[in-house]
Structure 1
Amino acid sequence: MAKTKAVHCNSRRCCAKNLQEPCNLNTGMRHWHRHTLALLALLLLLGGCSSLPTDFDKPVSHALADTSQSRLSQSLQPLLALNPDRSGFRTLRAGEAAFVARLRLIQAAEQSLDLQYYIWHDDLTGRTLFNQLLAAADRGVRVRILLDDLDTAGKDQVLRTIDAHPRVEIRVYNPFANRDNRLGDFAGDTRRINRRMHNKTMTADNIVTIFGGRNIGDEYFAAARDVGFGDMDALAVGPIAEEVSTQFDLYWNSQWAYPIAAFDWGKPISPAEFAAFRAHSDEFLEEAKMSEYAEVIRQFDMDALASIDQIDWTWSEWLLVYDQPSKVQAKKVDAETHLAPKLKMGMDRTQRDLIIVSPYFVPGDDITDYLLSLVDRGVRVRILTNSLQANDVSLVHAGYMRYRRALITGGVELYEYKADANPVVRQQRKDQRDRNRIGRSKASLHAKFFGFDETYLFIGSFNLDGRSVALNSELGAYYASPAEARELSEFFDEAAYDVAYRVLLNGDGKLEWVTVREGTELRLNREPDTTWWKRFSTGILRFIVPESQL
């Protein structure tokens, strides 16, 4: 796969067979699924929406062109010289390792840090990373933070305070105009607000980057007790980091990115307020160092970024693809500017083996037919998505379950992640499997990646559903990693039953879920691990909820 420059993407409607034409995939807003249309209509009548600010300073800035003097850059130059026109990749599978990588990347940066996220929780890991970003800014590092505005409710004061640091700037993408009545905004400006920035990237000194499926929050880094997300990121070095920076600049300087300081806050953050916040943040960090999670991550001693040249990199050509920020108002998918058609190109070229890992999987009729056509021409197609109990959005499962029978009948191998599974999919290295970890009551799949012919991987933020195609902006990259791609393929044959149910049709043509527990095969004739009410309510939604509203 030849390296090519990044491809920008934008779209409005969902994809059909070529991931370019309109169809009826899942185009709803997952994180608003608990709010009824009646409530939104009432809020619209009561409030309406405010106007976005128009008179504010928004200086244009770009990734630093010359970071060659940073220690990160200098330590990598010999490796880059040995691998011209390639970038180095290292998958971050275990949540603890993914957190350590981010923490060490922030601590190692000397010139710039650019961070772009859909969700940033105010919890142990989120607060710790904010604290370390401020410490980096104290060292003189320029810090730019771009957050999707959907998850910032109730966090404006914290963001404003962090933004008050002279070396930190925070912008929000596609913001809510009314900071105190977001549901009213959603009701009054639904089409715009329904489109979100789902990209997740962190880049240090324009030479090292992390991209993939993880947001910032305890459940993504194996620090939460209530739920653990099985997820996937890639740590990458070399020219791909510059392309991620180019993508970041495109979003950062776009008309849809608003400085957090642009809104009418009444008065600025005072020096006393900033000092109090810093003191509280430092106190929190000291407490965090004594936490159980701190002890856990000390065991995950992945190669320190101080010796980044010693990491076991996979060197490869690559293809970075992403949606344009103008997806907020795009009306059609274009193969030159959208991520989805580029992903389909990889599927089209698949000769033997296609693996899809997508926690939110709602293919619609056209993508279902497309996957079956791959099977017809001899491609083995295997899919891993969430079971009903593992899925954190039951409405999405209601959309997905409509297509199970057709996929299975057509020869697709379908697996559903267990709610009591290890929250990573064969993601810990053998020398890490016996380490202590935070226990959690529920597991959920959140990783989004694809495997092609046991040779290439595609890792990113893209789910195979209409929201990723049509509404949310996304980012991901192809690269060659035969060893990991083969391991992924072998996992389905050797260990999938440990973490998932294989969904099959029995002799009567009814769905059954097959797994192995304590060495014994178990066959179930209903959605595993669920209550009667959950099965009934989700089954009803299957017939009455239009996919365009999921």
Structure 2
Amino acid sequence: MVALIAIAIVGLRLAFPLPEENFSELTHRQGADWAGPLGATIQNALDRNPGLDGVRPLGNGRAAFAARAILAREATSSIDAQYYIWQDDVTGLMLLDELRAAAERGVRVRLLVDDNGISGLDNLLAELDALPSASVRIFNPFTLRNPKLLSYVFDFSRLNRRMHNKSMTVDGVATIVGGRNIGDIYFDYGTGTHYLDVDAIAIGPIVEEVSQSFDAYWNSASSYDADLFLEPPLKQSLQAMADAARQTAAGAGYQKAIQENELADRIAAHDLKFEWSEVTLFVDDPAKGLGEVKSGDLIVEQLIEFANTSQISLDLVSAYFIPGERGADVLRSLAESGVKVRVLTNSLDATDVMPVHAAYMRYRDDLLNSGVELLELRALRQEHRDRSLPEILAGSASGLHAKVFGSDRERVFIGSYNLDPRSARLNTEMGLMIESPTIAASLAEQLNKPEFSYRVELDDNGEIIWLQVEQDGTVTVHTNDPETNGFQRALTVVVRWLPVEWML
């Protein structure tokens, strides 16, 4: 049986190899376009703040969607975008169509997507790629397109590494970097399920750094021209599908968000408002996608240094939190030295990846004993008490997705990096480290609000309890993970002992 499996794996690898060449040509970023409406406005702002970067956090999902749409519409020369997930839902179709429209008016569009996150988009991406001014490349492609996930059977070590970066840079003068992928759940509109997430729009010298990083990924050994894998488009359907999406109730809401967003008016009035500071790009070498980067050169080392320089406080917001032994040691050491360390992650009820939460549970007691404060986000919607096994495994779709870290109320990191082994060792990541007391203090104040999370503590017997504090001061004490049942909790115990933490 083992021999047959080995032969099958080798046979599949030979039948579905990677192409000998990644792409037809190297291409690079264009120079900043200061003549367009966006460039002219930003130039005025930069002249008033020489040498500094301007940053606007985007915490509201609708504003984050509108910012991307407006920047795409204002583009006159180039759009460079890279994303881990791009969904074929309302916002995904609308934003993909904004790229199409920009390309059709002559803007050079380069779109780099991770193949793990573009389910259902092959035909539409092929349509975009076919436009003269647009190019699509795929990072770590699945050579077997259908059934796609079967590629893991014969190429797991490569496909287990993904490009988790998220950025969109327009005309070489403005960029959006952060935790959001492209899809409805990341732009939190309406009463349905959605994530809490954060990214930021930035201008200034940092844009050139992001553009250089994009070029490195675009021309990397893990990136391939889309037409090497995607069939030619059967018909021109992107615009029609996007128009249909705009006609839905959700689409109308996003259209309204674009119309009401102040960004377009500020651009027209040459009056954009930013927080001015020094900003540093933290980004992995794209060779990490092939496992070819030395441990000391990974972004995790920069973030550990970021944490270790904290003297007063360290606030960590991470959707997925598995500190590992080294990370736990760093947090324990800081807390025991008097630094106020707080971590906000998802509760078991709120998480969308139960195995990650199960692995995190192994570290809770030791962190609490050392003085680290743990907060677990409440689910944003009421869960049904009776859920199927797949639903339990999938978890909630209404939880935390942000990755934001603040130090000493002086500096803040906004990016794609989760505090887990996958971000540290397997996925490529990026983010902005911003020297801004205003933004860092805002993060700290958000964590001071008790009503959105459970405070995790140890009782007098050393047992974990969850304190639920309401706005009126009412406190409810939970002795088990709130809003969960015995089967869910038992499942985490089983998963906790599986040897899979390294890949979570």
**Fold match, TM over 0.5?**
yes
Q: Which residue of 2 aligns with 1:64?
A: 30
Q: Which residue of 2 aligns with 1:293?
A: 253
Q: Which residue of 1 aligns with 2:262?
A: 302
SS at the partner of 1:228? Answer: coil
Q: CA deviation at 1:399?
A: 0.4
Q: Which residue of 2 aligns with 1:416?
A: 376
SS at the partner of 1:97? Answer: helix
Equivalent of 1:536, from 479, 490, 499?
490
Q: Which residue of 1 aligns with 2:463?
A: 510
Change (3 A) 1:333 1:411: farther
Conserved 8 A contact 2:86-2:92 = yes
For the residues of structure 2 that align with 1:216 and 1:196, how far apart are their CA atoms?
A: 16
SS at the partner of 2:282? Answer: strand
SS at the partner of 1:310? Answer: coil
Does residue 111 (structure 1) correspond to residue 111 (structure 2)? The answer is no
Conserved 8 A contact 2:246-2:252 = no
Change (3 A) 1:448 1:264: closer
Contiguous gaps of at least 5 residues in structure 1: 1-39, 423-440
Does residue 457 (structure 1) correspond to residue 457 (structure 2)? The answer is no
Q: Which residue of 1 aligns with 2:399?
A: 444
Q: Which residue of 2 aligns with 1:37?
A: none
Change (3 A) 1:489 1:286: closer
Q: CA deviation at 1:487?
A: 2.3
For the residues of structure 2 that align with 1:448 and 1:52, how far apart are their CA atoms?
A: 33
Counterpart amino acid of 2:277?
A: S
Q: CA deviation at 1:486?
A: 1.4
Q: Which residue of 1 aligns with 2:277?
A: 316
Instruction: Please give the residue correspondences for 1:92-107 in structure 2 after superposition, counting only pairs within 5 Å.
Output: 92-107=58-73
For the residues of structure 1 that align with 2:101 and 2:137, how far apart are their CA atoms?
A: 19
For the residues of structure 1 that align with 2:378 and 2:303, how far apart are their CA atoms?
A: 27
For the residues of structure 1 that align with 2:6 and 2:370, how far apart are their CA atoms?
A: 42
Change (3 A) 1:69 1:312: closer
Equivalent of 1:215, from 160, 166, 181?
181
Change (3 A) 1:414 1:43: farther
Change (3 A) 1:295 1:112: closer
For the residues of structure 2 that align with 1:43 and 1:386, how far apart are their CA atoms?
A: 40
Which range moves more in the overlay, 308-317 or 254-263?
308-317
For the residues of structure 1 that align with 2:424 and 2:209, how far apart are their CA atoms?
A: 21
Does residue 384 (structure 1) correspond to residue 344 (structure 2)? The answer is yes
Q: CA deviation at 1:334?
A: 4.1
Q: Which residue of 1 aligns with 2:333?
A: 373
Q: Which residue of 2 aligns with 1:327?
A: 288
Equivalent of 2:430, from 455, 458, 475?
475
Structure number with greater CO (CA < 8 Å, separation at least 6) is 1
For the residues of structure 1 that align with 2:7 and 2:402, how far apart are their CA atoms?
A: 37
Q: CA deviation at 1:545?
A: 4.3
For the residues of structure 2 that align with 1:46 and 1:538, how far apart are their CA atoms?
A: 37
Counterpart amino acid of 1:535?
A: R
For the residues of structure 1 that align with 2:340 and 2:7, how far apart are their CA atoms?
A: 49
For the residues of structure 1 that align with 2:259 and 2:7, how far apart are their CA atoms?
A: 52
Conserved 8 A contact 1:111-1:141 = yes
Q: Which residue of 1 aligns with 2:391?
A: none
Equivalent of 2:219, from 241, 246, 253?
253
Note the aligned Cα RMSD (angstroms): 2.4
Q: CA deviation at 1:227?
A: 1.9
Q: CA deviation at 1:329?
A: 2.6
Counterpart amino acid of 1:402?
A: R
Q: CA deviation at 1:285?
A: 5.1
Counterpart amino acid of 1:329?
A: L
Conserved 8 A contact 1:53-1:263 = no
Q: Which residue of 1 aligns with 2:389?
A: none
For the residues of structure 2 that align with 1:482 and 1:285, how far apart are their CA atoms?
A: 40
For the residues of structure 2 that align with 1:41 and 1:307, how far apart are their CA atoms?
A: 62
For the residues of structure 2 that align with 1:230 and 1:281, how far apart are their CA atoms?
A: 27
Change (3 A) 1:449 1:66: closer
For the residues of structure 2 that align with 1:263 and 1:45, how far apart are their CA atoms?
A: 21
Which range moves more in the overlay, 156-165 or 87-96?
156-165
For the residues of structure 2 that align with 1:470 and 1:93, how far apart are their CA atoms?
A: 27
Counterpart amino acid of 2:324?
A: G
Q: CA deviation at 1:452?
A: 0.7
Which range moves more in the overlay, 218-227 or 365-374?
218-227
Q: Which residue of 2 aligns with 1:189?
A: 155
Conserved 8 A contact 2:37-2:268 = no
Instruction: Please give the residue correspondences for 1:22-37 in structure 2 after superposition, counting only pairs within 5 Å.
Output: none
For the residues of structure 2 that align with 1:279 and 1:345, how far apart are their CA atoms?
A: 47
For the residues of structure 2 that align with 1:302 and 1:43, how far apart are their CA atoms?
A: 57
Q: CA deviation at 1:216?
A: 0.1
Counterpart amino acid of 1:486?
A: A
SS at the partner of 1:60? Answer: coil
Q: CA deviation at 1:344?
A: 1.4
Counterpart amino acid of 1:458?
A: F
Does residue 91 (structure 1) correspond to residue 61 (structure 2)? The answer is no
Conserved 8 A contact 2:124-2:233 = no
Conserved 8 A contact 2:22-2:223 = no
TM-score by length of 2: 0.90
For the residues of structure 2 that align with 1:342 and 1:56, how far apart are their CA atoms?
A: 31
Q: Which residue of 2 aligns with 1:357?
A: 317
For the residues of structure 2 that align with 1:467 and 1:178, how far apart are their CA atoms?
A: 24
For the residues of structure 2 that align with 1:383 and 1:223, how far apart are their CA atoms?
A: 26
For the residues of structure 2 that align with 1:216 and 1:286, how far apart are their CA atoms?
A: 16
Residues 1-49 of structure 1: CA deviation (Å, up to 9, x unaligned)? xxxxxxxxxxxxxxxxxxxxxxxxxxxxxxxxxxxxxxx9998599556
Which range moves more in the overlay, 245-254 or 516-525?
516-525
Which range moves more in the overlay, 51-60 or 245-254?
51-60
Residues 328-350 of structure 1: CA deviation (Å, up to 9, x unaligned)? 23356443x32111111211211
For the residues of structure 2 that align with 1:290 and 1:194, how far apart are their CA atoms?
A: 34
Change (3 A) 1:254 1:546: closer
Aligned residue pairs total 484
SS at the partner of 2:263? Answer: coil
Counterpart amino acid of 1:513?
A: W
Change (3 A) 1:90 1:309: farther
TM-score by length of 1: 0.83
For the residues of structure 2 that align with 1:478 and 1:269, how far apart are their CA atoms?
A: 41
For the residues of structure 2 that align with 1:526 and 1:240, how far apart are their CA atoms?
A: 46
Residues 140-191 of structure 1: CA deviation (Å, up to 9, x unaligned)? 1110000001122432222111211111110000111111132321011111
Which range moves more in the overlay, 224-233 or 382-391?
224-233
Contiguous gaps of at least 5 residues in structure 2: 383-395
Conserved 8 A contact 1:112-1:143 = yes
Residues 184-215 of structure 1: CA deviation (Å, up to 9, x unaligned)? 21011111000000000000000000000000
Does residue 284 (structure 1) correspond to residue 247 (structure 2)? The answer is no
Q: Which residue of 2 aligns with 1:139?
A: 105
Change (3 A) 1:387 1:88: same
Q: CA deviation at 1:518?
A: 5.4
Conserved 8 A contact 2:45-2:271 = no
Q: Which residue of 2 aligns with 1:492?
A: 447
Counterpart amino acid of 2:421?
A: G
Identity between Structure 1 and Structure 2 (%): 39
